[in-house]
Structure formats: C-alpha cells, structure tokens
C-alpha cells in the first residue's frame, strides 16, 4: 500500500485532482471516496469526468444511486451509497461494475464507500477532509 497527502486549498484544486486522475486511470479502476458532506467527493468526480473527456453534466446520484456515463474515453460509473445501509449495498452486487460482468469495464467512482462490506482486489481510496484553515485535504491510498 502506498499513501500520499494532497493539499486542496479550494474546490478548483479538488476538481483539478479529479481531472488529473481522469486522464490517467484505466479500465477497471475503482475509486473509493470517503469524507463528510461538503468535503468535495462530487467535485472530484466532476473533474474525473472532465479528465476522461465526458461531456455530460455530472451530478451526484444520491437518489438514483448509480449514474452511468458513456461519452468519454472510458465509461464512468458514479455511485453514491449515502442513502443505503451496508446490507442494501450488498444486495445490489456492485462487483459487477468493477469486474465488467454486466457492463463494459470502465472507471468506478463510489461516494460514501465506507458503506461497502466487500472491496475490490485493487482500488484507489481518497479520503477527503475539510479544515477551515487549510481547506480540503486528500489522503490517497493505493491498494493492489
């Protein structure tokens, strides 16, 4: 496991981090996003989509659970588990997204990933925090 801390002084810096990731991620990449409300998870995914050349408007799938985008260089599957319990998350079999079982293999970005009771074998965890003085901070861990 490798880990690094990135200072994100404003929302634009969070967006740019997402763009940089979007330019480099490959099919099968999974991003597990954690952090309180307002910590920048959706902003990061908006940048991710821009870096993947997705032209659609990216909104949080808080009520729909999953938004799928196919207009970029890879599909983006944006999931928001905020309104689900861990048992409900288990029932929707999210591994089909990161294994490419029923969908084309793409990039999977999961907000509120701490609700997952099972994890993919390889993933990038981004723990976003907000500090009034320092702004946002991303702790990025790679698990492979």
- CB-CB contact of 111 with 60 (8 Å): yes
The secondary element (H helix, E strand) that includes residue 24 is helix 11-24
Number of continuous H segments (helices) and E segments (strands) in the chain: 4, 7
Tokens of 1: 């496991």
Tokens 């320092």 belong to residue: 134
> Residue 59's pLDDT is what?
87
> Residue 103's pLDDT is what?
87
pLDDT average per 10 residues of sequence, the chain (144 residues): 87 94 95 89 94 92 88 94 87 86 92 89 91 83 83
Distance CA 119, CA 76 (A): 18
Residue 115: DSSP 8-state: G
Tokens of 123: 């993933």
Residue 58: DSSP 8-state: P
Task: Name the pTM for this structure.
Answer: 0.92
């Amino acid at each position: 496991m490798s880990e690094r801390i990135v200072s994100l002084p404003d929302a634009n810096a969070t967006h740019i981090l997402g763009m940089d990731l979007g330019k480099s991620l490959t099919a099968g990449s999974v991003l597990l996003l954690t952090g309180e409300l307002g910590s920048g998870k959706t902003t990061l995914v908006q940048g991710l989509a821009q870096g993947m050349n997705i032209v659609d408007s990216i909104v949080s799938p808080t009520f729909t659970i999953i938004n799928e985008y196919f207009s970029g260089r890879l599909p983006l599957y944006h999931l928001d588990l905020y309104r689900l319990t861990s048992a409900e998350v288990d029932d929707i079999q999210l591994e089909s997204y990161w294994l490419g079982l029923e969908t084309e293999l793409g990039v999977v970005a999961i907000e509120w990933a701490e609700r997952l009771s099972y994890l993919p074998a390889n993933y990038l965890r981004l723990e976003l925090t907000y500090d009034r003085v320092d702004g946002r901070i991303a702790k990025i861990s790679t698990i492979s």
